[in-house]
Amino acid sequence: MTQEKDYGADYATQKETIEGTWRIDGREFALETEDVTKRTLDLLGEYMALAQQYEEGDVPEGAGDDLEDFPWESEGDDRDFIESVVDEKLHKPDIDVDETVSRKLSAIFVGMFEAWQEGETVKAAREEMPVEGGN
């Protein structure tokens, strides 16, 4: 009898809660966020690149209209992309994005983005086993 191989597709596409940190005013705080797909991470990069072209608060109306909506957004959702992402993906700290100071909301978003890019286990492994030498 042949046993069917498990290629791990279900596990590979399962979204998990990952841990990270956010930093502001010389302090560091823990956070937990739902992991995102590569497609969502790429889209976040596009939104961030667009936002970096302008000073905070100076992004012209409709600047992101050519970018795809996030999968969780409905037609006509006019929230700022940072508010949308934090509201949808942040598990802890449990905050109300409408009641959170803008610069702290941005710091939380950056922490979430860093967690998605490499995760705490990768950071810990890098600290434990530093790479010696260079190119």
User: How does pLDDT run across 51-60, given as a tens digit for each residue?
Assistant: 888 776 566 7
- Mean of pLDDT over the chain: 82
| 60 prior amide bond cis, ω within 30 | no
Domain ranges of the chain: 19-128
Dihedral, 117, 21, 80, 88 alpha carbons, nearest 10: 80
Backbone region of residue 84 per phi and psi (left: phi > 0; alpha: psi in -120 to 50; beta: other values): alpha
User: How does pLDDT run across 20-78, given as a tens digit for each residue?
Assistant: 999 999 999 999 999 888 888 888 888 888 888 877 656 677 777 778 888 888 777 77
Contact assessment for residue 17 and residue 32, using Cβ atoms and an 8 Å cutoff: yes
Whether pTM exceeds 0.75: no
